[in-house]
Structure 1
Amino acid sequence: MLKRLIDTYMALIPELPRYCDRCLETRRWNGSVVLMVVDAAFTSVGLNYFNAVVPKVMEFRDKFVKTGNITCLEELARAEKELFSVWRNARSVRAAMEIAEVLSEFGGDDRTAFRRWAAEAKLEEWRKDPVGRIKGVGINTFQYLRMMGGIDTVMPDKIVKRVINGILVKAGEEPVTSDIPFVKKVHEIAAITGYRPIELCLMTWLVEEGKDGLRVKKHSRILEEI
């Protein structure tokens, strides 16, 4: 029953494995770790991802990354003025800078440093992690960064919980509300259904339907770009 229900959702997004591969390979935003960190920090505020966050990350990209003004994590860690010029939330601006600073300390180029951090970071110890300790970084931002750093896992955000718990209830199972137990439950569902945890996570963001239809259809062009 559980697999059959999830299969119906997955059938709506044939492109999903490709999106997930790009995330796990740390190739989102054309491989720019700077933009992945900016994305995660801006997303932490809780505004609509496609309508509010993505346009601002694109604006930052066009103004500062494509022009060569900010090319690496070390430069992002000092980019307070540039970040504020496109995003007025002080907490997430500071989070972007501090995340960049922490990740840059893991050595190598940006992608190597990011993936090294993600490989070492532990869900159960996220509050003790150097990234998890940053003000403005909650468990959702922590998990989102781990995913972009190559870890096949899940964000326990409200959309993921709403969709997954809805499926669990339809399948006659109990919903899970606590963050870490929820993440572990989705990993169990992945093992049972044959889908990757990250696929279950991204699926929930893309199948929710609004007045304009499924997000995956509405934002297909953007998804290819990011």
Structure 2
Amino acid sequence: MKNTYTQQFLGFVKTLPLNLDKKASEFNYTNPVLILADAVLSMNRKYEAFVVPRIKHIEKSNIVSLNQLNTIITQGGIESFAHVWNYSDPKRVEILLKLTQRFLKLKEQYGLSDDLETLHKWGKEAKPKEWVMFGVKGIAFTTFQYLRILCGGNTIKPDIHIKRAFLEAVGKNRPLEEIVEVIEETATYMNLQAKQLDYALWSFYSKK
């Protein structure tokens, strides 16, 4: 085991009554707009109560491409986007816009024509250490990791629930990057996808 805490965390996880078969519906988005909106809306908000209703609201708008989203925000203005996701928060709209433009640039760099393919390529190839260079103000490390998951990456999102699980397991806090490493290694030893273990831990601890 590469990390000294992995064995300790593995032993702890095996004592928990986790539902490892349940899968998150948001892992299977086919609309790239919903992927980015979910990541931005999820920052420091309760998922089921806050994010899900707004994702459903966006679905009704029939915005299905990043170019569409970019045009709607840039031409309509930051403030007017509130009705699209039923939420008035200019700062989050700005983050969503910058994120959209970042992926449109990546799409061009990759030489791809499909938004979803672009997001999936990035999600599977991006590494935790690349967060600093990602270049979207407002996207902290935890959101960066969640975005990787939504884009098809096999990793974990070290939010408050995952950090609580880690603290209970090893008795101390560690840097977020190290928590990611430990839980990814643990998932490998359990023959699970990291995001599968992440979701099981999140589901368990968010209800405690």
Matched, 1:208 2:205: yes
Report percent identity of matched pairs. Answer: 22
Q: Normalized against structure 2, the TM-score is what?
A: 0.79
Work out whether 1:73 is the aligned partner of 2:73.
Answer: no
Q: Could you tell me which runs of 5 or more consecutive residues in structure 2 were left unpaired when the two chains were aligned.
A: 1-7
Q: Deviations over 1:135-174 (max 9, x none)?
A: 21111111111112121101111111112332x14xxxx5
Query: Is residue 77–residue 96 contact of structure 1 (8 Å, CA) maintained in 2?
Result: no
Measured after TM superposition, the shift of residue 4 of structure 1 is 5.6
* Change in CA separation of 1:100 and 1:163 when aligned onto 2, cut-off 3 Å: same
SS of residue in 2 equivalent to 1:77? helix
Q: Which runs of 4+ in 1 moved over 3 A?
A: 1-5
**TM-score computed with the length of structure 1 as normaliser:** 0.74
Q: Which residue of 2 aligns with 1:88?
A: 88
Choose the corresponding residue for 1:47, options 29, 41, 45: 45
Contact 1:154–1:197 under 8 Å retained in 2:
yes
Q: How far apart are the structure 1 equivalents of 2:41 and 2:152?
A: 20
Q: What amino acid is the match of 1:93?
A: V
CA distance in 1, matches of 2:124, 2:188: 21
| Correspondence for 1:104 | 104
- Which one-letter code corresponds to 1:116 in the other structure? K
| Distance change >3 Å, CA 123–CA 12, structure 1 → 2 | closer
Note closer, same or farther for the CA distance 1:53–1:191 as it changes in structure 2 (3 Å cut): same
Name the residue aligned to 2:4.
none
- Tell me the SS of whatever aligns to 1:15: coil
For residues 5 and 207 of structure 1, the distance between their equivalents in structure 2, rounded to whole angstroms, comes to 14
Residues 160, 103 of structure 1: alpha-carbon distance in 2 compared, 3 angstrom cutoff = same
**Are 1:144 and 2:146 counterparts?**
yes
Task: Say whether the 8 Å CA contact 1:190–1:196 is kept in structure 2.
Answer: yes
Does the CA-based 8 Å contact 2:95-2:136 persist in structure 1? yes
Partner Cα distance (1:134, 1:60) in 2: 22
Shift of 1:8: 4.9
Unaligned residue ranges in structure 1 (runs of 5+):
215-226
* Distance of 2:42 and 2:173 partners within structure 1: 23
